[in-house]
Structure 1
Amino acid sequence: MAFFLETLIGGLMAGMLYSLVALGFVLIYKASGVFNFAQGAMVLFAALAMARFAEWFPEWTGIANPVLANIVAFVAAGALMFIVAWLIERLVLRYLVNQEEATLLLATLGIAYFLEGVGQSMFGSNIYPIDIGMPKDPVFLFDGVFPGGILVNQEDVIAAVIAAALVLALSLFFQKTKTGRALRAVADDHQAAQSIGIPLGRIWVIVWCVAGAVALVAGMIWGSKLGVQFSLTTLALRALPVVILGGLTSVPGAIIGGLIIGVGEKLSEVYLGPYVGGGIEIWFAYVLALVFLLFRPQGLFGEKIIDRV
């Protein structure tokens, strides 16, 4: 039982981090109706910015306190992501209003390659560490209940708590605020939203800024765990099954989908892997997503689209 709980908790922690990346896809889709293939590049760009700013600012300003340096680097990286969001709207999106979804999709692909190239030019292409002070040593919990206790990674727990808090804040933002309702209206119909006075350009800037902030938090956490490297862009691929499972338009769906994927990957690898030679963790999420595409393409919480002719 203790080993099962360790695996389950590890899956839940990984699932929350998947959900954090999937949120970026959901946010952009809810506001523009397009799947944002640039989300992985945004995570990489934000993580590179924070890692390099944390390295450069002590040299430029003489800040000796590493905690203060990380705070300043986080704020500066957040400001940079807001500038990136504003430029994306000014230079790309405002010229694509009411265009076909395929056109917007290709635009996000172009943005992805642009961010990767600019990130490499500005910050370099090496592996850079992010040290935000999260404890990395595992601890044993419930020693009195299970012999030897349950091994839990402290860094994973803190990362999951941060991800959960951000997810909760975004859910409240979309459901309870005027801007959140405007975002949903824009996603449903660009022209109708404009006709009732919703400024499409401002809404897109806001949602890309929020997606940039989510990318920064995701990049900070994953960079702390793995180091900032260009393989972070593949996080977007790991989050695709989460979005398919939870639904493209559902913030709670991104959470539930991430938890299901994370737990399913860990349990299947541990309990089924020995019988099939291992490697289940790599493809489990994609097979599950394929099943959902066949039988419930809108996902668990997505809106079912009905076309009337």
Structure 2
Amino acid sequence: MGFLLETVIGGLMAGMLYSLIALGFVLIFKASGVFNFAQGAMVLFAALAMARFAEWIPGLLGVQSKLLANLLAFGGAMLVMVAVAWAIERLVLGRLVNQEGITLLMATLGITYFLDGFGQTLFGSDIYKIDIGMPKDPMFLMESVFQGGVLVNKEDLYAAGIAALLVLALTMFFQYTGTGRALRAVADDHQAAQSIGIPLNRIWVIVWSIAGFVALVAGIIWGSKLGVQFSLSLVALKALPVVILGGLTSVPGAIIGGLIIGVGEKVSEVYVGQHIGGGIEIWFAYVLVLFVLLVRPQGLFGEKIIDRV
């Protein structure tokens, strides 16, 4: 029982990180109707910026405090992601308003490859580390309940806590701020929102900036765990089945979908993989989503598609 609980907790922590990346997909799709394939590249680009700025700032500015250097690096990386958001809106999306969905999809694929290549040009292609001071040693919980206790990695615990706080903050932002309500209005109906004076171009820059901020936090967490390398963008692809499972338009769906997939892949890998040779963790999410699509194409929490003739 203790080992099962240990596996479930590990899955929940991984699921929160999947949910964090999935939020970037959902936010952009809700505000602009664009399925942003570039979200994984944004995670990588943001993590590269953070890692390299953290290396450069002590030498350039003479900063001795590691905490201050990390804060400055975070601020610099966030400015970079806002600049990326502005450039995407001005140079790409703003010129493709009212185009077919496949056109916008191809545009985000182009952005993906551009960010991958441009990131390598700016920051290099080595493996970099991000050290924000999260403890990496394990800890044992509930030793009085289970023999030997439940092993939990402190870094995973901190990462899940940060992801949960960010999700809560974004939820509050969308519910209780004027900008958040404007974003929800644009998500419901672009033309109606524009008719009451909500500027779509500014809203799109804001939502891509928020998605960039989410990508930065996700990139820092994953970079701290795995190192910043170009395979990091492939990790972000795990968020695709999360988005489809939860629903493309649902923020709660992204969270719950991430938790379901995180727990499901860990439990299936541990308890089923040992009997069939392993590897379930690689394809579990995609097979699960395939079955969900056959039953409910809009996802568990997505808006039902109604075609009126």
TM range (shorter): over 0.9
- Measured in 2, the distance between the counterparts of 1:99 and 1:2 equals 54
Q: Secondary structure at the match of 1:306?
A: coil
- Measured in 1, the distance between the counterparts of 2:90 and 2:296 equals 37
Q: 2:35 matched to which residue of 1?
A: 35
**Cα deviation code 1:23-57 (max 9, x no counterpart):** 11001001011100000000000000000000000
Greater shift after overlay, 108-117 or 188-197? Answer: 188-197
- Measured in 2, the distance between the counterparts of 1:258 and 1:251 equals 11
- Measured in 1, the distance between the counterparts of 2:280 and 2:27 equals 30
1:232 and 2:235 aligned: no
- Measured in 2, the distance between the counterparts of 1:294 and 1:34 equals 23
| Counterpart AA for 1:141 | L
Q: 1:204 matched to which residue of 2?
A: 204
- Measured in 1, the distance between the counterparts of 2:30 and 2:235 equals 20
- Measured in 2, the distance between the counterparts of 1:143 and 1:190 equals 54
| Counterpart AA for 1:270 | V
Q: Secondary structure at the match of 2:117?
A: helix
Q: 1:122 matched to which residue of 2?
A: 122
Q: 1:167 matched to which residue of 2?
A: 167
Question: Offset of 1:74 from its aligned partner?
Answer: 0.5
Question: Offset of 1:70 from its aligned partner?
Answer: 0.7
Q: Secondary structure at the match of 2:237?
A: helix
Q: Contact 1:21 / 1:235 at 8 angstroms: preserved in 2?
A: no
- Measured in 2, the distance between the counterparts of 1:192 and 1:100 equals 20
Q: Secondary structure at the match of 1:249?
A: coil
Gaps of 5+ in 2: none
Q: Secondary structure at the match of 1:228?
A: coil
- Measured in 2, the distance between the counterparts of 1:12 and 1:154 equals 14
- Measured in 1, the distance between the counterparts of 2:20 and 2:185 equals 23
- Measured in 2, the distance between the counterparts of 1:206 and 1:31 equals 10
- Measured in 1, the distance between the counterparts of 2:177 and 2:307 equals 29
1:192 and 2:187 aligned: no
Q: Secondary structure at the match of 2:238?
A: helix
* Percentage of matched positions with identical amino acids: 78
| Counterpart AA for 1:37 | F
Question: Offset of 1:181 from its aligned partner?
Answer: 2.5
Q: Contact 1:139 / 1:152 at 8 angstroms: preserved in 2?
A: yes
Q: Secondary structure at the match of 1:230?
A: coil
| Counterpart AA for 2:22 | A
Greater shift after overlay, 184-193 or 268-277? Answer: 184-193
Question: Offset of 1:106 from its aligned partner?
Answer: 1.1
- Measured in 2, the distance between the counterparts of 1:276 and 1:165 equals 38
Moved over 6 A (4+): none
> Aligned ranges for residues 83-102 of structure 1 at < 5 Å?
83-102=83-102
> Aligned ranges for residues 274-289 of structure 1 at < 5 Å?
274-289=274-289
Greater shift after overlay, 82-91 or 124-133? Answer: 82-91
- Measured in 2, the distance between the counterparts of 1:172 and 1:246 equals 20
Q: 1:156 matched to which residue of 2?
A: 156
Question: Offset of 1:142 from its aligned partner?
Answer: 1.2
Q: 2:223 matched to which residue of 1?
A: 223
TM-score between the two structures when normalised by the length of structure 1:
0.98
Q: Contact 1:98 / 1:191 at 8 angstroms: preserved in 2?
A: no
Q: Contact 1:18 / 1:262 at 8 angstroms: preserved in 2?
A: yes
Q: Contact 1:140 / 1:149 at 8 angstroms: preserved in 2?
A: yes
Q: 1:5 matched to which residue of 2?
A: 5
Greater shift after overlay, 124-133 or 168-177? Answer: 168-177
Question: Offset of 1:7 from its aligned partner?
Answer: 0.3
Q: 2:270 matched to which residue of 1?
A: 270
- Measured in 2, the distance between the counterparts of 1:200 and 1:100 equals 18
RMSD value, Cα: 1.0
> Aligned ranges for residues 16-165 of structure 1 at < 5 Å?
16-165=16-165
| Counterpart AA for 1:102 | I
Greater shift after overlay, 78-87 or 220-229? Answer: 78-87
Q: 1:247 matched to which residue of 2?
A: 247
- Measured in 1, the distance between the counterparts of 2:140 and 2:187 equals 46
Q: Secondary structure at the match of 2:231?
A: helix
